Amino acid sequence: MRVGLIGFAALCVGLAGCDPNQQQAKKDIEAATDAASAQLIDPNSAQFRDVVVRRTEYQGTGLGHFYAVCGEINGKNSFGGYVGFRKFAVKVRDEDTDGKLTPVEKLEPEMGYGTADGAIATGNEIERRLCKGDVWPAGSKPVSKGLDG
């Protein structure tokens, strides 16, 4: 499960170090995918694709921005079969109007199917609320995890 992120970290070090924003994005993705995996029936079966960090403005509030990790997740059901990729998002940080960043205290993944508390959100709702901002840092490439097996 962590093999993809380990490869990403090795690439980062191999390129003479990443900038601080890339390092933070890597940490955000790691924390968010761990939190999303924990919501699955079989957390070790988690597969992720097209995972990016997005910076989105709080619309019409003047409160700044928030950062969410967005992508697709797949996992096994109780019969041991994969259910198919669904959209997921995890809000990880807030940014006030002065640019001060504050981590979210408790990561609460939202997925395009039932979550641990029984709530259901469609992939379109997740995209509209949490994943409409720009990819951050600019130029970042999507990350995949757990697809090598």
Mean pLDDT of each 10-residue bin along the chain, 149 residues long: 49 58 94 94 95 88 87 94 92 90 87 55 76 91 86
Burial of 12 (0-12, 13-18, 19+ CB in 10 A): middle
**Which pLDDT belongs to residue 1?**
46
Angstrom distances, CA of residue 31 to CA of 77, 82, 91, 98, 125: 23, 23, 11, 25, 22
Residue ranges making up the domain that contains 9: 3-145
**Which pLDDT belongs to residue 136?**
93
Query: 4 near 143, Cβ under 8 Å?
Result: yes
**Which pLDDT belongs to residue 16?**
41
Asked whether the whole model's pTM tops 0.75, one would answer: yes
Per the structure, the count of domains in the chain is: 1
**Which pLDDT belongs to residue 122?**
67
**Which pLDDT belongs to residue 125?**
78
